[in-house]
Amino acid sequence: MNTVTTAPHQTALEQFGIESHWLNPVPTRHTLLVVYAHPDDESFGNAGTITRYTTTGTAVHYACATRGECGTVDPKFLDGYADVGQLRTAEQMCAAEALGLSGVHFLGYRDSGMTGSSDNEDPNAFVQAPFGQAVGQVVAAIRALQPQVVVTFGPYGGYGHPDHIMAHKVTQAAFHLAGDATAYAEQAEAGLVPWQPTKLYYPTFTNRFLKIALAFMRLRGQDPRKVGQNADIDLVEALAQITPITTAIYSGPMLARKEQAVACHASQLGGGPAFLRRIPRIVRQLNSTEYFTRIEPPWEPQRTLERDLFGRIDP
């Protein structure tokens, strides 16, 4: 991996509490910014799409709200690491190399844990962050990186994780404010000028794929309303909360890179909250297309789905 020690706006982002790791520089007109909550969200969610774009000359950056401190980890993985956060940061950087990311940007919050856990109340938890502060950080990232396309969680956050829902709310607000010179005007002093992304997407799934997941759980004698090591994920509700498909990105040729990125998050492959990792590899192979809901500009029903996140964006 080509690690870049200095990059445009690095100091500016540091001023707003963002720790940036600048990696493979890509001279390109197209930039994609993915904003999720934890190390592994990018790999278990959209690794195929990310790799499709990084391998065809698009700069892809990952803004990660936390370091996944509340992830369930077998003690054997902690050998050589001070704590879970340090381990999962290392796993994230491994995945960044596999995916070919141009940068990873940590917002500096603590993992909030699942709904109802004591971790929700930690003053450093992402869900406890002052909303305007967190929005300002994502605004700063957008202005620094100047993406045409932004991807973040939908309103339910995939499976209801509080940090996923917070990432959705924060990024949705930031998307609409980043181009407003009157919003976070102090950022101009750090060289961050207004920038309005063109398109906003949520990741989504086909009903068929989630129904396969539900059937697989039942075959294993698992309650689909109590999934994960802590039995705190409700797949039935996740199915009910799916947002409509507007965009389909074929990523079949990227399967090997996708699996490599997933493997980097080894501490999380034992069954934590990302329920899709329980599905056999062959099913993931069948699921070689990743789906999205386009939020901005608003989608008008058409006969055919979008096939490119950058479609109708000037080169």
Q: Which of 52-56, 75-79, 209-213, 222-226 has the lowest mean pLDDT?
A: 209-213
Residue 291 contacts residue 245 (beta carbons within 8 Å)? yes
3-state helix, strand, coil in the chain (%, to 5): 40, 15, 40
CA distances to 148, 150, 185, 248, 279 from 297, in Å: 12, 12, 25, 16, 33
**Residue keyed to tokens 């507007």:** 246
Q: Is the pLDDT of residue 3 over 60?
A: no
HSE-CB at 104 with a 13 A cutoff on CA atoms is 29
Amino acid at 233: I
Q: In what order do the strands lie in the sheet with 31-36?
A: 19-22, 103-109, 59-66, 31-36, 149-152, 199-204, 289-296, 247-250
Domain map (residue ranges) of the chain: 10-205+244-296
Give pLDDT, residue 136: 99
* Lookup: tokens for 276: 């899709």
Give pLDDT, residue 4: 46
Give pLDDT, residue 315: 61
Average confidence score pLDDT of the chain = 90
Give pLDDT, residue 229: 62
Instruction: Single out the residue of 113, 117, 118, 91 nearest to residue 104, CA to CA.
Output: 91
Name which CATH class applies to 10-205+244-296: alpha beta
Give pLDDT, residue 175: 99
Q: Which of 67-81, 105-119, 218-232 has the lowest mean pLDDT?
A: 218-232
- Please state the pTM of the whole predicted model: 0.91
pLDDT digit string, tens, across residues 214-243: 888 788 887 888 876 667 788 889 889 999
Torsions phi, psi for 9 (to 5 deg):
70, 10
Give pLDDT, residue 7: 66
Q: H/E element holding 66?
A: strand 59-66
Give pLDDT, residue 271: 47
pLDDT digit string, tens, across residues 245-291: 999 999 988 888 999 999 999 999 864 434 444 445 555 555 689 99
Higher pLDDT, 186 or 315: 186
